[in-house]
Structure 1
Amino acid sequence: MARDLVVPLAPGVWRIPLLGDFFNGFVLRDDDGQVTLLDMGVARSGPKVMAALGAIGAGPSDVTRLLLTHAHPDHAGGAAHVARETGRSVEIHEDDVEHARTGTSPPRDRSLRLGRLLDRLAKGSFDPVPVERGLVDGELLDVAGGLRVIHTPGHSPGHASFLHEPTGTLVTGDAIFNVRGVRWPVASFCTSYAMTKATAHRLVEVDHALAAFTHGPELRDRPRQTITDFLHREGHLEG
């Protein structure tokens, strides 16, 4: 296995380092060989996502599902390429569906000066992608034994994290980063920075054995406690 293309996280689950550990996508494989891809990085990351399939002994015809945590160009940018190569449409939380279909980022936080500036500059920020349907909070997807949708809005209206229940692997998306330690995402990139903080408690309400981040390396040692401690320090978790 080409370990520089994929990082094993748990049985049937891999991380795809798309720009070192800083931008990540993920692969999940069913026992019958069906493959699900989750987040596809920036536009130039599409071929790297496809190369990762070969690293686990799979190919484009094995891909049966494409998922996105949210409709930002560093997550959805490579999705158009992957959709063309696999012939599959994307699934994303229903509140981000129209943004994915039109290739436009959700609004930035208007309470922040930089957020207002980014809003004015953001025009057609990634190639539109075909969307099969919108996901809803709490839905259990038939992916590799069960992938739970956890709506964690704030970074975008439809931002979702995902819990792979059989292995306890939590993909946080951009609800929280692990870049030089656990931290919040960049405030001005959020639709509502306050809501991002207010909904992060959902990450520790589910039991997980490994926390995987779309920005930063995974946490394998007591990840739930590490995130809990961070939220306590930040004043966003009671008890």
Structure 2
Amino acid sequence: MIWPVSRGLDVPVATFLVRGDSLEQGADPAHDWLLVDSGAPMHVEGLVEAIGQVLTHEKDSLRYICITHGHLDHTAAAPALLEKYPECKVVIHEDEKPFICEGLSFRTLPHDRTITLRDGDQWEFEHVLKFIETHGHTPGSASFLHIPTRSIMVGDAIMNIASVPFWSRIPCISGPLAMSTCHWGNAMQAIDKILTYKDEVDTVFPAHDYSEDGIHIDKVHDFHRPSTLQSKH
């Protein structure tokens, strides 16, 4: 799902709704669903409604909201979705938890509805979404590798919008927006790290992307020659 960031500034912000399992041929459909990021404030009503139109089976349930980072344009619908789906929890890097649970910014979420992860931590749906630390844009930025489709959702670690002017709508690969990035050096290393997953990833999906189809990882490599991280291990 792609939503404009505001009515005055038409910058897309993506959310991704995925099944909680890879659907094998002949198997019953999975009824567990996972959401990656939850949009900006003006998206809340539309996003909740759109998810409800997909989760129509009586067994369907939104199990987790996987947050790439705590900025408001990625977290706004989380409170409404937690209210609608009582079994749902938020997955986030532990360094982002103060921003979503302790009132450092925006509306807070309950501690008991969050699960914090770091690289290598196991969680219930790790066979579908692999959690990868890609901090730099924020202290606890993370990416989620969707194993069945060889796709990685990177939040703001990589962008694919025009730098100036925003309204030109011409895709242009870049790092995160500098003025909202807490550590530029770490942000560049995060792109290095994403590129170390080339054997597992075909498509990179930024949260802000005019193409709507994502970016082939080779194009990200051409934009950003990895210089720091040589291995993901």
* TM-score, normalisation: structure 1: 0.75
Question: Any unmatched runs of 5+ in structure 2?
Answer: 5-9, 21-28, 162-170
| Residues 207-222 of structure 1 mapped to structure 2, 5 A cutoff | 207-216=200-209, 217-219=211-213
Q: Does 2:97 align with 1:97?
A: yes
Q: Determine the structure 1 residue equivalent to 2:49.
A: 51
Task: For residue 64 of structure 1, give the secondary structure of its aligned residue in structure 2.
Answer: strand
* TM-score, normalisation: structure 2: 0.77
* Per-residue CA distance 1:107-136 (angstroms, 9 max, x = gap): xxxxxxxxxxxxxxxxx4x21112422111
Give the letter for the 1:93 counterpart. H
Give the letter for the 2:221 counterpart. T
Q: Does 2:117 align with 1:135?
A: yes
Task: For residue 131 of structure 2, give the secondary structure of its aligned residue in structure 1.
Answer: strand
Q: Does 2:192 align with 1:204?
A: no
What is the rounded CA distance, in whole Å, between the counterparts of 1:35 and 1:181 in structure 2?
31
Q: 1:140 to 1:208 in 2, by over 3 A?
A: farther
What is the rounded CA distance, in whole Å, between the counterparts of 2:19 and 2:229 in structure 1?
37
What is the Cα deviation at residue 65 of structure 1?
Answer: 1.1
Q: Determine the structure 2 residue equivalent to 1:35.
A: 33
What is the rounded CA distance, in whole Å, between the counterparts of 1:63 and 1:138 in structure 2?
24
Give the letter for the 2:32 counterpart. Q
What is the Cα deviation at residue 77 of structure 1?
Answer: 2.0
Question: Any unmatched runs of 5+ in structure 1?
Answer: 1-15, 105-123
CA contact 1:140–1:148 (8 Å) conserved in 2: no
What is the rounded CA distance, in whole Å, between the counterparts of 1:36 and 1:135 in structure 2?
16
Compute the RMSD of aligned alpha carbons: 2.5
Percent identity reads 24
What is the Cα deviation at residue 209 of structure 1?
Answer: 2.0
What is the Cα deviation at residue 33 of structure 1?
Answer: 1.3
What is the rounded CA distance, in whole Å, between the counterparts of 1:58 and 1:163 in structure 2?
26
What is the Cα deviation at residue 141 of structure 1?
Answer: 4.1
Alignment length, in residue pairs? 201
Q: 1:238 to 1:103 in 2, by over 3 A?
A: closer
What is the rounded CA distance, in whole Å, between the counterparts of 1:140 and 1:163 in structure 2?
14
What is the Cα deviation at residue 27 of structure 1?
Answer: 0.5
What is the Cα deviation at residue 49 of structure 1?
Answer: 1.8
Which stretch of the first structure deviates more once superposed, 49-58 or 128-137? Answer: 49-58
Task: For residue 166 of structure 1, give the secondary structure of its aligned residue in structure 2.
Answer: helix
Q: 1:34 to 1:144 in 2, by over 3 A?
A: farther
Task: For residue 15 of structure 2, give the secondary structure of its aligned residue in structure 1.
Answer: strand
What is the rounded CA distance, in whole Å, between the counterparts of 1:238 and 1:152 in structure 2?
12
Give the letter for the 2:131 counterpart. V
Which stretch of the first structure deviates more once superposed, 51-60 or 186-195? Answer: 51-60
What is the Cα deviation at residue 66 of structure 1?
Answer: 1.5
Q: 1:56 to 1:210 in 2, by over 3 A?
A: farther
Task: For residue 207 of structure 2, give the secondary structure of its aligned residue in structure 1.
Answer: coil
* Per-residue CA distance 1:69-94 (angstroms, 9 max, x = gap): 11111111221222222223312001
* Per-residue CA distance 1:132-166 (angstroms, 9 max, x = gap): 22111134543384211110010111100110112
Q: Determine the structure 1 residue equivalent to 2:79.
A: 80
What is the rounded CA distance, in whole Å, between the counterparts of 1:138 and 1:182 in structure 2?
29
Q: Determine the structure 2 residue equivalent to 1:117.
A: none
What is the rounded CA distance, in whole Å, between the counterparts of 2:214 and 2:206 in structure 1?
11
What is the Cα deviation at residue 55 of structure 1?
Answer: 4.0
